Amino acid sequence: MLNHALALAKRGRHVFPCRPRDKVPATPHGCKDATVDPAVIRRWWQQESDLNVAVATGEASGIFVVDIDGADGEAALRQIEERNGALPPTVEAITARGRHLYFKWPDRPVPNSAGKIAPHVDTRGTGGYVLAPPSIHPSGRRYCWSVDSARALAAAPEWLLAMIVEPASGPTITPPTEWRELAKGVAEGARDCSAARLAGLLLRHHIDAIVTLELLQAWNATRCAPPLPEGDIVRIVDSIAGKELKRRGLA
């Protein structure tokens, strides 16, 4: 795994280790610890050689990833491409249940999202990460680079960016289907963002902060894979509650 991590770092991808055969970070701060420093990378994998390799998505690595989960995700993506045009060939990884499509970082922030493009089609952007080949999924399947994909990163088409990037002119109404997908749960890389959005939705509708916290803790424990530490949920709700109080002029 070490050589693969070093090769990714040499291409400018910020990497960090996850636990063997798992998506759980093996460093204290997860993707915030990601680096291209070969000395740090060697130290990580020399301590435990079979750690999985994760790539932090976002501006620093110069990439965002479209995560297509299973046959349902593929079918949903085909319908979108029929309406908007085919996605350009780009670097692609085969995952345990689907594909990761790697795109160049655009000229605007790309958030993590769950189901925003379509059900079972997610994005990993700022503050997110994905396991990279040859990491091993918890199911035992190994990630691999697709031999049929392009050898260079493609720029995402405007229609795709329009579906996942909030317009500068102001907020948009989130469709009910997107909230339903979040309620079903999210995987690594989108948990913080999703928890913050759910907390914001509840607090904006004047749900008591303590009730919001309990609801988020239940959602995290039963719907996130893997769950965030309880302290992270408390931190997220505290932060969003403070912003909501300021918005109402109460703080």
Q: Residue range 1-18: average pLDDT?
A: 96
Q: Are residues 145 and 224 part of one domain?
A: no
Whole-number percent of the chain with pLDDT over 90: 59
CATH number at residue 159: 3.30.2250
Q: Say yes or no to pLDDT of 195 above 90.
A: no
Q: Are residues 34 and 112 part of one domain?
A: yes
The pLDDT score that the predictor gives to residue 126 is 92
pLDDT in tens, 136-171: 999 999 999 998 888 899 999 988 988 888 654 445
Q: Are residues 128 and 90 part of one domain?
A: yes
| Band (251; pLDDT cuts 50, 70, 90) | low
Distance in Å from the first CA to the final CA of the chain: 49
pLDDT in tens, 69-109: 989 889 989 988 888 889 999 999 999 989 999 999 998 88
CA angle 41, 110, 32 (to 5 degrees): 30
The pLDDT score that the predictor gives to residue 170 is 47
Q: Domain for residue 199, yes or no?
A: yes
Which one is predicted more confidently, 25 or 119?
Answer: 25
Range of the domain at 159: 2-164
232, 152 contact by CB (below 8 A): no
Q: Are residues 144 and 235 part of one domain?
A: no
Kind and range of the H or E run holding 183: helix 176-184
Q: Are residues 222 and 122 part of one domain?
A: no
Using DSSP, state whether 154 is helix, strand or coil: strand
